[in-house]
Amino acid sequence: MLTDIRKSESGGNTAYLNVGVWFDPETGHIHITLPHSGWFHTTVTADADSKRGHPNLFAKLARALKEAGVPHPAIGEAD
């Protein structure tokens, strides 16, 4: 069985998540999912006033998408 969540081999409090991340240019949201979980799918936006808003996380995910060579939102100088 494929799993997207595993405990650190060294123990402790760390869990590792195998996430899928993509940008939807129509909504401006970045999606985050655990592909094999069947229950974990959420979005994040740069709008701090939005329920899904988290500008810092959005910028970091945008940079990761850019570095992966896949579609991403515009990245500002401060990011």
Comparing CA positions, the residue from 69, 52, 51, 72 lying closest to residue 61 is 72
Q: What pLDDT, on the 0 to 100 scale, is given for residue 78?
A: 43
Tens digit of each residue's pLDDT (9 = 90 or more) over 34-76:
999 889 999 999 999 999 999 999 999 999 999 999 999 998 7
What whole-number distance in Å separates Cα of residue 76 and Cα of residue 55?
11
Local confidence band at 79 (pLDDT 50, 70, 90 cut-offs): very low
- 34 vs 78, more confident: 34
- Whether pTM > 0.85 for this model: the answer is yes
